[in-house]
Amino acid sequence: MQRNTLETVMGAIVLLAAAGFVALAYEAADMKGSGGYEIAAEFGSTGGLSIGDDVRISGIKVGQITAQHLDPVTYVAKISMAIDPAIKIPSDSSARITAASLLGGNYLELLPGAATETLSAGGVIYDTRDPVSLSDLLGKAVFSSNNPAN
């Protein structure tokens, strides 16, 4: 009987430790509900962005990507994002997709404008800059060095 009690207590401790690790991983991955208000931006290419990637202003996370889809009429990539309700985005802001590091991982960077009017829920940023591919840059460098006329 004493052995069964000890096994039960040890099992409960292991389960509590596992639940603690799951909660810690959940918090570290910021997998909580995004909250905030939804805005969108239109790009020629998503540049490897994924749902859940960060939206930042000046390097500070202010939201996350919630959806992306292709507009069937204009063929532009529309990226939806949830923005922290405490952050108000000026209506003349621009957006660009930026690499977090050389090893990969991208985020959407918002470049606030100077307008006093702000984007409300459902607003769209049209002033966007498509990402520059490292392979495109390397290709230009290689091919331009082989052509002495340029």
Predicted confidence at residue 31, as pLDDT, reads 45
User: In one letter, which amino acid is 21?
Assistant: F
What ranges do the domains of the chain cover?
A: 1-32, 37-139
What is the spatial distance between Cα 129 and Cα 141, in angstroms, rounded to a whole number? 21
Tokens of 13: 């401790």
Phi, psi of 91 (to 5 degrees): -65, -20
Low-confidence ranges of the chain (pLDDT < 50): 31-32
Predicted confidence at residue 13, as pLDDT, reads 86
